[in-house]
Amino acid sequence: MTTGFLAVTSSPIVARSRDLIGAPRTALCQSVAQAPLTVVLVAALVAMTTRPAMGQCPGDITGNGVVDGADLGALLTTWGAPQGQGDLNGDGTVDGADLGLLLTKWGPCITVPSWATLIEAQPDPAVVWDADLRAAITATGLAWRVKDTATQIEMVLIPPGGFNMGCSPSVQGACGVDEYPLHPVTLTNAFYLGRYEVTQAQWQARMGSNPSNFQAASAQVPAAQVPNRPVELVSWNMIAGPGGFLSRTGLRLPTEAEWEFAYRAGSSTAFHGSSGQPNGTNDEALVGNIAWHTSNSNSQTRPVGGKAGNGLGLHDMSGNVQEWVHDPYLSVYYFVSNPAQNPPGPGSGSARVLRGGSWIYGPSLLRGSDRESQLPTYSNVNIGFRVARYASDVLLTAVSPSAGLVGGGTSVTLTGVNFQGATAVAVGGVPTTSFQVVNATTITAVTPAGTVGAKAVAVTTPSGTASLPGAFTYSTVVVPSWATLIEAQPDPAVVWDADLRAAITATGLAWRVKDAATQIEMLLIPGGNFLMGCSASLSNSCQSDESPVHPVVLTSAFYLGRYEVTQAQWQARMGSNPSDFQSASTQVPAAQVPNRPVDNVSWDMIAGAGGFLSVTSMRLPTEAEWEYACRAGTTTAYHGLTGNPNGTNDGALAVNIAWYLSNAASQTRPVGGKAANGFGLHDMSGNVAEPVSDWYSSSYYSSSPPVNPPGPSSGTERSPRGGSIGLPQRDVRSSARRCTACGGGFGGGTGLRVARSP
């Protein structure tokens, strides 16, 4: 390439080309319109060494998001033609004018959102100092730095990415229990975030009044800078409630995960980095570089942006004022139900989350992972907010279920933003057979036929098209004749272990189905091997009937109820309800009583002549199947959950997965109220005890066959597993066994979970 370029520049034409090269870019483009093609090529080669200001780019002929040599080549192939793809200005001829237009657009195509005014297209290396972050921002194709046109709030682009969310202690500050466990989170969509906290002037301009305490000048803040102090004394309801700031601006609050991802900007330390300390720090003594806090604020807020920004160009993420985020607060959210992708926060809660600390806090409480909460009606002189905005006018964030059969026909729900007026939904470029716009954030659709593999899902609206790559996977799975399909392939947010997902997929059977006759939801448990028997907790040793620990192989896949059989499901098949807990309570409203597990059932009522199993063609799991399904790959006393996938031996954490003596308030609870295990099964520990098909023998493990153990051939008692609302922590361990006479009722603490063979 170098040799060729030198050969061209030594030609007699070079004098003309040198004149062009030295000219301003506007003059260059005017000149090439009349220049010979050889001279134009020289100018084009020179233009490749620099990049003009970025904007929209009609020069992207190849559609790869960049105006580059491929586009130049495409234009030149039709040079001089009366029409062609290189006719960028539409004058009917591909000529120098079109090439001049292409050169002005050289480089990445940058999209400026319709609601925004461009400030700076590409990230400034002096602000976003990390090359990987700059590349991630550029890869979105979106402008880096903009102003919300209506409010004049400056915003910077936060690219998609992954990070570890949760506890990052400082030298002097330990993490709170609500910051555990540290867990991976992926954000799949770029978004814009306010570069600064919302100021008093910005609030006043939209709301017509200013609630702030610090409206007067001080020795540290001159009168001219007071409007640039952050607004404070604002409640969550004043911001996000009816008639609040967000409803008047079209802006939103960031989610808690978005806030922490943006705060960290690639760092994993207690406090984010700055240009002089890019990797962040755990040292409170250095926090004054990035934050106004109790030791340096002189008991007042300061104008926004007065401290060093982080690696994404955001200021005051620590200190100045605490910042409301979107999410309701749940202290155990990270343990119980925080999904690994785009966590939205709990579905409900009385309080809302505050992040970042403030001017009245000590440095330790300004850590990036620190969580605080207040009621949405609460306001204080140290509480403000920062706004976010979706990058696109229309946004697709999730598709559920995420897999189905190649023949089509899967009912899916699409979640996103600005779906109103949607005109088309497509999977893998093929229009869906039907779709319905439920509201601005939800669309239901039925998938068309497709081919095996992951496909993009797209929604077309008057505001544009939103696409989510790989959002739906087609597969060729077998659905049992007794079942209706819910979801073909295991959802990674439910079955988080890749090996377990692979084992399920390898069976060729559908993962999630409903028994067509009873509507009981069931999940596929693949064959596999495990160590069966004693797994003690920190506070409870094993009983003698849990030993010895012995290897077991299950050679066949089977389906197991995702939940315990409910009172409603029992009533529908049996015509009566034997349960003790048929009334509403303070903890269980009347509408949820039918979803309590059925209880007070005898062995004969379950497995005898005319019992539940005989009228449904279902069965109970064997004791080995039950324990294998409960463990879901763990070897600990208590099974794992999202955020703590390897399980635990700490009985204090059993509250996350089980209703038992210490937390059940002497009553059953609606099924599915506690965190599921790695197969997606709920209430395997606690709520009601679950009989298995085996006869009980305290010494069976000593002679149990290693492959598909069926249990003793005879006996006088059965063995309910999993513990219940009346039993302590030791009895909700995965290996705990109990024996109960099989004739009469097992009592109010016993129900059942059903199984089926494919």
Q: Rounded to whole angstroms, how far apart are CA atoms 123 and 313?
A: 9
Contacts of 318 (CB under 8 A, 6+ apart): 263, 271, 272, 287, 290, 291, 293, 356, 357, 366, 367, 368
pLDDT in tens, 521-561: 999 999 999 999 999 999 999 999 999 999 999 999 999 99
Beta strands per DSSP E along 451-511: 453-461, 464-475, 483-487
Q: What would the pLDDT profile of 668-696 be if each residue is shown by its tens digit?
A: 999 999 999 999 999 999 999 999 999 99
Write down the pLDDT at residue 64: 66
Predicted local distance difference test score (pLDDT) of residue 61: 79
E strands in 675-744: 690-695, 717-721, 740-741
Report how far residue 48's alpha carbon sits from residue 105's, in angstroms, rounded to the nearest whole number.
11
- Reported as a single tens digit per residue, the pLDDT across 9-19 is 222 222 322 23
Q: Provide the β-strand partners of residue 107.
A: 67
**What is the reported pLDDT for 469?**
82
Closest by alpha carbon to 88, among 64, 47, 110, 57?
Answer: 57
Give me the pLDDT at residue 393, please: 72
Tens of pLDDT, residues 708-718: 999 999 998 88
Query: What integer pLDDT is reported at residue 604 of this predicted model?
Result: 92
pLDDT at 40: 38
Q: Give the full edge-to-edge strand order of the sheet including 388-390.
A: 116-120, 145-148, 154-158, 191-194, 388-390
Q: What's the rounded Cα separation, in Å, for the pair 83 and 98?
A: 11
Cα(733)–Cα(686) distance, rounded to whole angstroms? 9
CA separation for the pair 733, 722 (Å, rounded): 7
567 close to 598: Cβ distance less than 8 angstroms: yes
Structure tokens at 461: 């609206």
Assessment of whether the complete model's pTM goes beyond 0.75 = no
Run of H or E including 37: helix 37-47
Round to whole Å and give the CA distance between 61 and 64: 8
Measured between alpha carbons, how far apart are the two ends of the chain, in Å? 64
Q: What is the pLDDT of residue 529?
A: 94
How large is the greatest C-alpha to C-alpha distance in the chain, in angstroms?
A: 107
* pLDDT at 44 (0 to 100): 38
In whole angstroms, what is the distance from residue 177 CA to residue 181 CA?
Answer: 8
Quickly tell me which residue has 């933003």 as its tokens.
417
- What burial letters (b/e) apply to 315-325, b meaning 16+ CB within 10 Å? bbbbbbbbbbb
β-bridge mates for residue 525, sequence order: 558
Domains identified in the chain and CATH numbers: 2-108 (no CATH), 160-186+198-387 (3.90.1580.10), 397-476 (2.60.40.10), 521-756 (3.90.1580.10)
Q: Which residues contact 188 (CB under 8 A, 6 or more apart)?
A: 160, 341, 342, 397, 468
Q: Do residues 542 and 571 lie in contact, with contact meaning Cβ atoms separated by under 8 Å? A: no
Q: What pLDDT was estimated at residue 306? A: 97
Q: How far is CA 625 from the centre of its chain?
A: 32
Cα–Cα distance between 65 and 585 in angstroms, integer?
59
Phi, psi of 665 (to 5 degrees): 55, 35
Residues 280 and 269 sit within 8 Å (Cβ to Cβ): yes
Token pair, residue 676, equals: 């599921």
Give the residues of the chain that fall short of pLDDT 50: 1-56, 742-745
Phi and psi at 238, nearest 5°, equal -65, -30
Name the H helices within 406-562: 498-506
Q: How many residues does the chain have?
A: 758
